Amino acid sequence: MKKLTLYIICFSTILLCSQASAQQTDLSSAASKALPAVVRIQSFVSDSLYVKHAKLATRMGIRSLGSGGSTLAGSASGVLVSPDGYILTNAHILNGGDSLVVILPDRRTYRAVLTGIDDEADLALLKIPENGLDFLEPGNPDHVKIGEPVLAVGNPLDLTSTVTAGILSARYRALDDRTTPARINSYLQTDAASNEGMSGSALVDRSGKLIGINSAIVSPSGTFAGYAFAIPGGVVKKALHDLLAYGIVRHAYLDALFSDMDDVQYKKLDNKNLTGVLITGVQRAGAGERAGLRREDVIIRFDQHQIIAAPQLRELLAQSAPGDSVKITVMRGSIALEISVVLSGGKVDQARNLPGGWPATRTNRIH
């Protein structure tokens, strides 16, 4: 009798634990919030534009229909970010088109206007003439731990309103620099499945808030192989603010080149426990030099953030604005220095100091 009672108590405990676990991982509420706010975007090239730019269209694989109409240049996803019809998507999905069509999940169709675009962040802002629309609220990917569940919501392979689930696999991930769509090149990595048509789609947390815009996959075949990448929510939020306010994104720069540390540099600096990002060059009269940054300084903090990788530093800069004053802590030899830097709006190619990409793989824009 005692054994039976013990068994029932243990079984009940296991059942309650299982139910609690299921509730913790139930993502249906997040999906129901995201699905109405994710749209399909089609980019068309008119035949008149094709005639004017025939060579460019041919290189892009676009062929004229020859019927006085237009040709589909690309089909992807977008995210409604306001009730009055503003939509964020990837810049690369426009694919040279001169006409944009947005299809809502309920099949309502609109001509869209391109209101702003930024190639460095690989983001574009569209507008459709409608109000009272469902939209996604911004989330903070910094509050999502590695290993926590996330959802990718988009329109892959002509399958509308599709949800896939995975975890946040990594952050501050840089892709092969030769093919990445964005020069900022710092991504969230997830194993939530993405395929053609998912560019510009939503990556949401378990509460259904937007933490990233899905943009690329790394695959030997061009189809999903377990690795998908999203532009982080902080970069998205800053870009949206600027595109709405100015029509462009106002990027901030240190006017310095930097790279991840490697074993050779650790040994040269004679500090094997040192973490941070190595400054490899400083632009003359730029923001960094004016503030006192030097070549071979190692950046270990950016305001309150401990710096562990070059993509992280690019991401933090992408969330800043020209004229912002930031406190940067560097190691100069064995001495830690805190330096105040007023960020510039100039352009120094900081996104080209990356380790090489992975062999036998390629980065694919998931149109």
Helix intervals (H) in 156-195:
none
Which of 104, 127, 150 is the last residue in one of the domains?
127
- Domain-embedded: residue 230: yes
**Distance (Å, whole) CA 22 – CA 25:** 5
Please state, in angstroms and rounded to a whole number, the distance separating the CA atoms of residues 101 and 46. Answer: 13
Q: Has residue 2 been placed in a domain?
A: no
State how many domains the chain has: 3
- 163 with 105, same domain: the answer is no
Using one digit for the tens of pLDDT, what is the confidence trace for 306-351?
Answer: 999 999 999 999 999 999 999 999 999 889 999 999 999 975 433 3
- What is the pLDDT confidence band of residue 190, given thresholds at 50, 70 and 90? very high
Enter the tokens of residue 85: 């019809």
| CB of 127 closer than 8 Å to CB of 112 | yes
- Does residue 18 belong to any structural domain of this protein? no
State the helix-helix crossing angle for 310-318 and 233-246, rounded to 10 degrees. 30
Both 301 and 337 in a single domain?
yes
The identity of residue 235, as a single letter, is V
**Pairing of β 335-342 and β 38-46:** unpaired
Q: For 258-268, what is the mean pLDDT? A: 80
Residue 27 lies inside a defined structural domain of this protein: no
Are residues 316 and 225 both part of a single domain?
no
Q: What CATH number does residue 162 fall under?
A: 2.40.10.10
CA distances from 261 to 247, 308, 326 (A): 36, 9, 22
Residues 82 and 115 in one domain: yes
119, 175: one domain:
no
Residues 245 and 282 in one domain: no
Q: Yes or no: say if 367 and 196 are a contact pair by the CB < 8 Å rule.
A: yes
Indicate left, alpha or beta for 43 from its phi (over 0: left) and psi (-120 to 50: alpha).
Answer: beta
Cα distance between residue 277 and residue 170, in whole Å? 18
Averaged pLDDT for residues 222-247: 92
Assess whether 199 carries a catalytic annotation.
Answer: yes
335 CB-contact burial (10 Å; exposed 0-12 / middle 13-18 / buried 19+):
exposed
Per the CB < 8 A criterion, the answer to whether 363 and 194 are in contact is no
Which residue bears the tokens 């997830």? 190
The label of the residue with tokens 């299982």 reads: 18
User: CATH no. for residue 277?
Assistant: 2.30.42.10
Contact yes or no for 208/34 (Cβ under 8 A):
yes
In the structure, what pLDDT confidence band is assigned to residue 272 with cuts at 50, 70 and 90?
low
Residues 64 and 80 in one domain: yes
Annotated catalytic residue, options 43, 92, 215, 367: 92
Last residue of a domain, one of 63, 98, 127: 127
Query: Which entry of 122, 205, 260, 297 is annotated as an active-site residue?
Result: 122
Structure tokens at 346: 């100039």
Confirm whether 6 is domain-assigned: no
Question: Can you give the pLDDT at residue 110?
Answer: 95
Is residue 146 domain-shared with residue 243, that is, in the same domain?
A: yes
159 closest CA partner among 40, 306, 274: 40
Please pick, among 64, 199, 219, 320, the residue that the annotation labels catalytic: 199
Same domain, 185 and 274: no
* AA letter at 260: D
Identify whether 61 is part of a domain.
yes
- Distance between the two ends of the chain, CA-based, in angstroms? 64
Kindly state whether residues 118 and 170 are assigned to the same domain: no
pLDDT band at 176 (very low <50, low <70, confident <90, very high): confident
122 has catalytic annotation: yes
Q: Determine the Cα–Cα distance for residues 221 and 201; give it in Å rounded to an integer.
A: 21
Predicted pLDDT of residue 270: 65
In this model, does residue 56 exceed pLDDT 60? no
Among residues 99, 127, 155, the one where a domain terminates is 127
The predicted structure's pLDDT at residue 225: 74
For 231-256, what is the mean pLDDT? 95
Position 353 in a domain: no
- Tell me whether residue 92 is one of the annotated catalytic residues: yes
| Alpha carbon distances (Å) from 104 to 4, 66, 131, 230 | 57, 29, 13, 22
- Give the pLDDT score at 74: 80
Count of beta carbons in the 10 Å neighbourhood of residue 52: 11
Residues 6+ apart with CB under 8 A from 145: 168
Do 275 and 300 contact (CB within 8 A), yes or no?
A: yes
Q: 331 pairs with which residues across the strands?
A: 298, 336
Q: How confident is the model at residue 273 (pLDDT cuts 50, 70, 90)?
A: low
Note whether residue 349 is domain-resident. no
Residues 260 and 243 in one domain: no
Confidence tier at 293 by pLDDT (50, 70, 90): very high
| Domain ranges, residue 84 | 36-127
Residues 76 and 91 in one domain: yes
pLDDT-derived band at 1 (thresholds 50, 70, 90) equals very low
Per-residue confidence band for 26, with pLDDT thresholds at 50, 70 and 90: confident
Q: Residue 317: left if φ>0, alpha if ψ -120 to 50, beta else—which one?
A: alpha
CA atoms of 152 and 166, how far apart (whole Å): 8
Report the distance separating Cα 43 and Cα 46, nearest Å. 10
